[in-house]
Each structure stands twice: as C-alpha cells, then as structure tokens.
A and B are shown apart, each in its own frame.
Chain A
Amino acid sequence: MKILVTAKRVEDPESKIKVKPDGSGIVQEGLKYKINPFDEIGVEEGLRLAAKHGGEVVVVSIGTKDVQEQLRHALAMGATRAVWVNHAGALDQLGIAALLQKVVEKEKPDLVVLGKQSIDDDQNQVGQYLAEFLGWGQATFASKVESLESEAEKNKVPAVALTADGKAVRVVREVDNGLATLEVQLPAVVTTDLRLNQPRYASLPGIMKAKSKPIEELTPEKLGVDVTPRIQVLKMSAPPARKAGIKVPDVATLVEKLHNEAKVV
C-alpha cells in the first residue's frame, strides 16, 4: 500500500500568538515551529497501515526551505521519502490542494492522509478540495471507537481498516452527536481527527536514518500550478479582551454573585 501524507509547518500549539500592531501579521520573534499536530497523526496512521499491509509512506510539505525540518521529522518517524514543494509566498487552500493534486497524480498513492485542519489557518478545507479535484471519495475527521488509552492503541493497530478485498477502507468519523462509519473505495482521501492515534516519538536511530533519506524538490512552476492566492487577508487583529473577573472566597459568595450580579441562576 502506498500512502501519501502531508506535513505542514506551523507554530507550536503551545506558543503565544500576538498580532503585530499594524495588523499585517503575527509577531514571528520567539516562535517555535512544529509539524501540524493533525498531520503528525496522519503520518502515524500511514506508518501503521504500511506496517500492517506492506508498502511505504511518502511525506509532502509545501513552503520555504524551513519545511524540510518537518519533512525530516516525518522521515525520522519512519516515512520512506519526502517531496518538498518549494514556495515562499502566501498560499491559500485552493493553491495547496491544486499542488497536492499534481503531486498525487505523479506519485499515484492508494491513500492520501491529511490533517483535518491546520492549527494556524484553521480552515479545515484542503483534504476535501483535494478529494474533489481528484474525483476521489473522502472520509474526513477520521477517529476510532476505542480510546487513546485502549489496548488497540497500545498495540498500534491502524484505525483506518482495509476491507477484506483490499479495495476500500472503512473509516470511523467524528461527527455531530456521534460516530459515523463510511467505506471509501481506494484510492481515497482521509483527514485525521485528534483521537485517531497517539503519534510515536522519533527514535534516535530513526533520526539518524532520516538524515540520508531523499527529499525531492519541486516547485509550483514545475508542477504547472498557478498558486496566486484567492483569499486575501486584509487585516489581523487581537480578539476583544474579556473584562477582568474576580476570585470569590467560597461557594456562598459565588452563588450570591451568580444570582444577584450575573443573574444566571
């Protein structure tokens, strides 16, 4: 099974994001960068599927030279090789999906696994755009019935299950009010939710090996894609601050405030 996974470079989810005073972007100084957490879950799921069914995991990232760091991270986890689409300017989801479509057409994977959303843009779009561009089926928000503390999880069982004939995958999805299960014919697009798996740590030998794994360089020009953004971010601002609250000494005071001041109980 050949599995293509994505690895977007994003700000560490623990970092404090501040908007520049002129609203033109966020303050970059002091920020750390990581692989998008949902994408790391995608890499893990790909590795589990490849371990179970044979095959390889190829990782793709789009961005400046810096994204090689995230590609190396995925390679250290166990991906076989990487594709880097070198592009420096702004990109939107349409552009990213169009680039990924070309990479998919070149690589011809059986399955593409992406994160459901990137934690910087929070758009939750690329996987669905890509599936439609390719004319493939999609299963977004992939999860599983077992918890992250289950035996299945400890044994690194892939939650995305290949059907007996090997022609489709069965995916449990997190949706409103419950879990929906779909069967999607391969090739297919899957996007990950948080509870799909707990990604492994890269081992020291893994990190060493990753250094010599190949990274192929492509560009939007080479792929023949016009990536001019069709989403213009005109201005960024900080969300309105909540007015400062108070600490109350005990339950009696709390209930008094909720009853007489906030009038909510």
Chain B
Amino acid sequence: MPIVLIVAEQQPDGNLRKASLNAISAGKALADKAGAELHLVLLAKDPAKLAEELKGTGAKAVHTAAAPEFEHYLAETYAPAIAALAQELKADYVGMASTAQGKDLMPRVAARLKAAMATDVMAINGSGADVTFTRPMWAGNVFAEVKLTTPVKVFTVRATEFPAAATGQGAAEVKTFAAKVEASKTKFVDFKEVKSARPELTEARVVVSGGRGTKGDFKEIEALADELGAAVGASRAVCDAGWVPNDLQVGQTGKVVAPQLYIAAGISGAIQHLAGMKSSKTIVAINKDPEAPIFQVADYGLVEDLFKVLPALRQAIHGLK
C-alpha cells in the first residue's frame, strides 16, 4: 500500500505547531485519494509528549526519533533523518505544513529523495496515481494544477486551506526509530522569540492589521485588537520600517491568514498583501483613499481617516457587549 508521510513540527516552547494538524488533515485527504496509508514523523530531543498527542489524529503510525541534536531544529540534521525514514518506509509522498521550518526543511528532504516538490498546496485533486496538487503562483494571481512525476513526491501545505485534524480519535502505533545524526556544518546560535499576549496571527479568529497609513502609530490598532481578542497584523511597509516585528507581516512573503474577520486599516491593498489575506471570511477596509485597491476585496469599506474610525469602532464594539 502506498504511504503518505507527514512531518509534525515541535515549536521551540515544546508544543506542537498547530499548522501540523492542518497538514495532517491534508495528508489524510491525500491518503484517501491515493489509496494510501497515513504515517507521521516527529523528531525531538524528547518526542514522547507530542507523540501522545499525535497518536489520536487518525494516522496509522507515528514514528519518532529522539536525539540531543534535535533540540534546536537545523535542516542539516533533520533532513537526513526524515529522508532515511521515508526510504525505509518506501513512502510515496512526504509533506509538512508551509511554516518557516517546513519551507526550510522540505526542499532539502526532497533533494535527498531526488523528489520534485510542490510548495503551499491548497487542494488535492484526482485519485490513485493521477493525484495532482493545486498551488498558488504569482502571489496568488494564478492557481496552478501541478503533477509531480518523480517516484517520491514532496509538498508543503497551506494551513488555511485544510481543517485542523482532531486529536482524540484512533490510536496510532507509536514507533521509535534510530536516526543517524550527521555532523552538521551549521551551528544553532540563538532564537529571539517575539512574545505577545495576543493570539497567534495564523490561528486567530479576528486579525486587525495596520499599514503605512498608521505612520507607525499602532496604539489604536492594538486597542481594537484587544477589544476583539484579535491578533495584530501588518503590511510589509510597516515591518520594513521596523515599526512592528517582521513576524506580523501578512502577504505573499509573510504569513497567510484566513480569519473570520480581517480588518485592514491604512493598507493600500497591494497584490502581495492580498495574497496573504484574501481568503478571510469577512474583510473590512478602512482607508482615506476611495480608489485604494483594498476596497476591491473588502466586504465592507469605510473611506475615512483611520485615526478617527478606530477609536469609534472600538467603542461601538465594546457597546455591543
């Protein structure tokens, strides 16, 4: 039986990166279409706790390897271990969420497996040997249906396009394997985490984003976000200027989000920004310029000064409670 192998990701804080669950449900969808069995793999210094969590996601088996070298993720130590497991299992597909780690790691895994790779898979089509992937090109201006023709096929998954797999179902067999850790030419130095009390941008139900129109003053953006229990996002212009951390950039080359509500204030709506938020359920745009392209994707547009609108909006929403 063909095998789909999905790589689960542990965050630096030890928890499972949530996008892994979306990748697992993409893996399930693929396994159904390809008539394959779903397996998971997790590398960590101590994978036991997360393996318990992954056990209940409906996969056939969870493969774990423990090594002190896996404490800090490095493509050079992770790729050989994952590729070796894929070869041992004779996996036909190897996938992971399109996180920073997924994008760094999977092409290196693919290179070892002489596999072609599709990045940011949004849909899985066809069946059996004729499975194809839909993925965005040109900042999401084009959806391409692609077929990978190498024996092993590698992909990353756009998390917003697949539901998160539930964790309480089934009990996969947890197997450990001995990963050979190769000497690495790369050394982990440090990780400076941007800590925020607000919800994770990619997981939030509501996102309030600010653009260059804020002139770097994010107080009202943040106050509205807090009223709504929302995450804060930003355009590239804002991150480039150093007004907010890079990690908040939404777009083609930043985060892709699809919340229930996306509020864009002082953002013009460049195609690269739209690429990261166009699939939001409801979009609100606040911009002084009635011609701003953001209004073309907004469900509700308000042509006004954001510094006037945001406080009033916050108070009116507060008043609903």
Compute how far the CA of A193 lies from the CA of B240 in the bound complex, rounded to whole angstroms: 11
Query: Are A251 and B309 in contact, CB atoms less than 8 angstroms apart?
Result: yes
The answer to whether A128 touches B185 (Cβ under 8 A) is: no
Task: Give the docked Cα–Cα distance between A108 and B38 (Å).
Answer: 42
Cβ–Cβ contact A237 & B261, under 8 A: no
Report whether A137 and B300 are in contact in the complex, using a CB–CB cutoff of 8 Å: no
A137 touches B139 (CB 8 A): no
A254 to B314, CA, bound (A): 12
The minimal Cβ–Cβ distance linking A12 to chain B, given in whole angstroms, is 11
In angstroms, Cα B290 to Cα A169, docked, is: 48
A122 touches B137 (CB 8 A): yes
Report the minimum CB–CB distance from A37 to chain B (whole Å): 9
Which stretch from A55-63, A75-83, A228-236 is at the chain B interface? A228-236
Among B44-52, B112-120, B167-175, the stretch that binds chain A is B112-120
Is the C-beta of B217 less than 8 angstroms from some C-beta in chain A?
no
With an 8 A cutoff between CB atoms, is A66 at the interface?
no
Residues on B with beta carbons closer than 8 Å to the beta carbon of A17: 138, 141-142
Q: Say yes or no: A175-B282 contact (C-beta < 8 A), given A129-B110, A195-B246, A265-B228.
A: no
Report which of B104, B105, B184 forms a contact with A141, defined as CB distance below 8 A. Answer: B104
The interface on chain A, measured as residues whose beta carbon lies within 8 A of the other chain's beta carbons, has a size of: 84
B253 touches A194 (CB 8 A): yes
| Candidates B75, B118, B143; contact of A138 at CB < 8 Å | B75
Q: Is the CB of A175 within 8 A of B185?
A: no
Report which of A137, A170, A235 forms a contact with B145, defined as CB distance below 8 A: A235
- Please name the residue on chain B nearest to A168 by beta carbon: B187
Bound form: Cα–Cα A257–B313 in Å: 12
**A264 to B260, Cβ gap below 8 A?**
yes
A217 within 8 A of B: no
Residues of A within 8 A of B150 (CB): 94, 230
Give the residue of A93, A237, A242, A248 whose beta carbon is less than 8 angstroms from that of B301. Answer: A248
User: Does A202 have its Cβ within 8 Å of any Cβ on chain B?
Assistant: no
Q: Is the CB of B313 within 8 A of A254?
A: yes
Assembly CA distance A196 to B118 (angstroms) = 26
Residues of A with C-beta under 8 A to B299:
242, 245-246, 262
> Which residue on A lies nearest to B134, using beta carbons?
A237
Contact yes or no, B317 A132, CB < 8 A: no
- Which residue of chain B has its CB nearest to the CB of A230? B116
A208 at the interface (CB under 8 A from B): no
Contact B137 A120 (CB under 8 A): yes
Identify the 3 closest CB pairs spanning chains A and B, nearest first: A147-B242, A132-B111, A128-B107
User: 16 extra interchain contacts, Cβ-Cβ under 8 A, other than A122-B135, A132-B107?
Assistant: A18-B141, A122-B137, A129-B107, A177-B247, A194-B236, A195-B239, A195-B246, A235-B144, A236-B137, A237-B145, A238-B143, A258-B282, A262-B282, A262-B299, A264-B206, A264-B260
